[in-house]
């Protein structure tokens, strides 16, 4: 029986949002690793292949401040559903892109739609979660993101390599339709402060809506963590080919399983102790996973690396999102959430460029070791913030006395 200490978390709308967001992420993420080879098949140059990723990331980052501003004074449900519908339409549009310039144009617009959906759905999630259980609740919501990011790319690669681009699009569309139906069934209550605020476009400022100062620090930590993760996204399939490991899907599978198993523990840890100790432990496990992967030549080592990374990174991302949202005002959650997802896009985009250049000079095992430095910096920044917060509490206590 729920009580005041443990307010209800598993409402119908929260469950529908998690399921809908999972299918939305899977529909989208299964396309991610197949876009560059499809662009190449259309005759894209090396520069144009690079634009496949960068144009998308730029579009998502550009649109999020506008959506964050809209969320300060706009009801939620229609944005949730419309965002998912537009994503579905753009997924279908790829089948009609027979020339590379049209393909890049659709990719750019797709980035706008993705920026809308991720910002809105994340904001709705934090509004459905009781404040006392924000770590636990956002941890479960983050599971839909984590599983989508981990499982869907391998599914997309399998469909693309074995059945072609058309079948891949059909699979993505089916998942997108399930997402729309599920999301449309939920009820998303708009906060009173948002309903009372009139929408005034003249008040919009791109830079003010791009960054929420209160939660900027954990957003920077997020950029570093996703930069490190970018090494996995970019190189894990090629790494498996180089090391002669055919069962590379086991890495993704172990990631997803371990991230799911530890999610209840990590969410409650956040609520009880805050983000600092949790993120430090997660970063250490992630570093261990990257180093084990760098020395992997067997399926057993691959499973160990995937499990360590799944526990560490799989728990870190929802903790970072909860940390970002816990630092902002209720009416600023749309902006803060948009900044969080823009941090992910920025980290992944920079990683693809910088680590791609590094990989030209060193082996992929060394690239994974190099990327682990990001998580060392994450630990340092987290401890700095912890010390700052503790000193602030001491000052408040002395003033009160």
Q: Which residues of 228-253 are buried (b: 16+ CB within 10 A; e: fewer)?
A: bbbbbbbbbbebbeebebeebbbbbb
Q: Provide CB contacts within 8 A for 386, sequence distance 6+.
A: 274, 276, 277
Output the pLDDT for position 5.
57
Q: Is residue 4 part of a domain?
A: no
Q: For residue 296, is it within any domain?
A: yes
SS3 43: coil
Q: What are phi and psi of 306, to 5 degrees?
A: -65, -35
Residue (of 90, 76, 91) closest to 184 by Cα position: 76
One-character DSSP codes across 111-125: HHHHHHHHHHHHHHH
- What would the mean pLDDT of 61-90 be, rounded to a whole number? 88
Asked whether residue 2 is domain-assigned, the answer is: no
| DSSP secondary structure letter of residue 191 | P
Return the ∠ at Cα 85 (arms to 71 and 122), rounded to 5°.
35
Residues 6+ apart with CB under 8 A from 45: none
- 120 domain-assigned: yes
Q: Nearest CA to 382 among 264, 273, 229, 261?
A: 273
Helix (H, G, I), strand (E, B) or coil at 6: strand
**In whole angstroms, what is the distance from residue 225 CA to residue 347 CA?**
7
Decide which of 349 and 112 is more confident.
Answer: 112
Three-class SS state of 3: strand
pTM strictly above 0.75: yes
Identify the residue with better confidence: 384 or 202: 384
Domain that holds residue 47: 12-198+207-396
SS3 4: coil
Residues 362-373: tens digit of each pLDDT: 888 999 999 999
Q: Inform me whether the pLDDT recorded for 96 exceeds 80.
A: yes
Would the pLDDT of 1 be above 50? Answer: no
Q: Which of 179, 191, 145, 187 is nearest to 13 (CA)?
A: 187
**170 Cβ contact list (under 8 Å, min separation 6):** none
Stronger pLDDT, 305 or 151, i.e. the higher one: 305
- Whether pLDDT at 322 is above 90: no
Please check whether residue 3 lies inside any domain of the structure. no
Q: Which of 315, 317, 337 is nearest to 326 (CA)?
A: 337
Q: What percent of the chain has pLDDT over 90?
A: 37
What is the total count of domains within the chain? 1
Average pLDDT (309-335) is: 85
Give 215's DSSP letter: G
The CATH number of the domain where 248 resides is what?
1.20.1250.20
Within a domain: residue 401?
no
Which of 50-64, 109-123, 131-145, 205-219 tops mean pLDDT?
Answer: 109-123
Question: Token pair for residue 291?
Answer: 């180093």
SS (H, E, C) 330-374: HHHHHHHHHHHHHHHHHHHHHHHHHHHHHCCCCCHHHHHHHHHHH
| Residue 17 is assigned to a structural domain of this protein | yes
pLDDT given for residue 51 in this prediction: 76
Classify residue 6: in a domain, yes or no: no
Nearest by Cα to 34 from 57, 47, 53: 53
The rounded mean pLDDT for the chain is 86
CB of 95 closer than 8 Å to CB of 166: yes
């Amino acid at each position: 029986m729920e009580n005041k200490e443990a307010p209800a978390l598993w409402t119908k709308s929260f469950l529908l949002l998690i399921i809908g967001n999972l299918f939305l992420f899977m529909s989208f993420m299964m396309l991610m690793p197949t876009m560059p080879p499809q662009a190449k098949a259309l005759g894209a140059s090396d520069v144009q292949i690079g634009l496949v990723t960068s144009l998308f990331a730029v579009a998502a980052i550009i649109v999020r401040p506008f959506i964050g501003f809209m969320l300060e004074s706009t009801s939620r449900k229609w944005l949730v559903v419309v965002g998912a519908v537009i994503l579905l339409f753009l997924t279908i549009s790829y089948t009609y892109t027979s020339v590379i310039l049209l393909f890049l144009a659709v990719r750019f617009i797709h980035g706008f739609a993705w920026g809308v959906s991720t910002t809105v759905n994340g904001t709705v999630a934090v509004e459905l979660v009781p404040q006392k259980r924000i770590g636990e609740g956002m941890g479960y919501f983050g599971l839909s993101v984590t599983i989508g990011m981990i499982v869907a790319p391998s599914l997309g690669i399998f469909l693309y390599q074995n059945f072609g681009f058309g079948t891949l699009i059909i699979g993505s569309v089916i998942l997108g339709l399930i997402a729309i139906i599920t999301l449309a069934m939920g009820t998303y209550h708009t906060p009173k402060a948002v309903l009372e605020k009139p929408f005034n476009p003249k008040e919009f400022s791109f830079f003010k809506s791009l960054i929420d100062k209160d939660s900027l620090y954990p957003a920077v930590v997020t950029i570093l963590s996703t930069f490190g993760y970018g090494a996995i996204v970019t190189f894990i399939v090629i790494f498996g080919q180089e090391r002669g490991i055919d069962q590379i899907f086991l890495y993704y599978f172990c990631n997803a399983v371990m991230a799911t198993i530890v999610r209840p523990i990590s969410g409650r840890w956040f609520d009880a102790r805050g983000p600092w100790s949790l993120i430090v432990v997660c970063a250490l496990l992630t570093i261990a996973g990257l180093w084990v992967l760098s020395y992997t030549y067997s399926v057993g080592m691959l499973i160990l690396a995937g499990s360590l990374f799944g526990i560490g990174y799989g728990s870190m991302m929802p903790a970072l999102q909860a940390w970002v949202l816990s630092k902002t005002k209720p009416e600023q959650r749309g902006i803060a959430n948009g900044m969080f997802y823009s941090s992910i896009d920025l980290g992944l985009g920079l990683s693809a460029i910088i680590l791609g250049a590094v990989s030209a000079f060193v082996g992929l095992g060394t690239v994974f070791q190099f990327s682990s430095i990001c998580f060392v910096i994450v630990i340092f920044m987290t401890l700095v913030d912890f010390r700052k917060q503790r000193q602030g509490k001491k000052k408040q206590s002395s003033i009160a006395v």
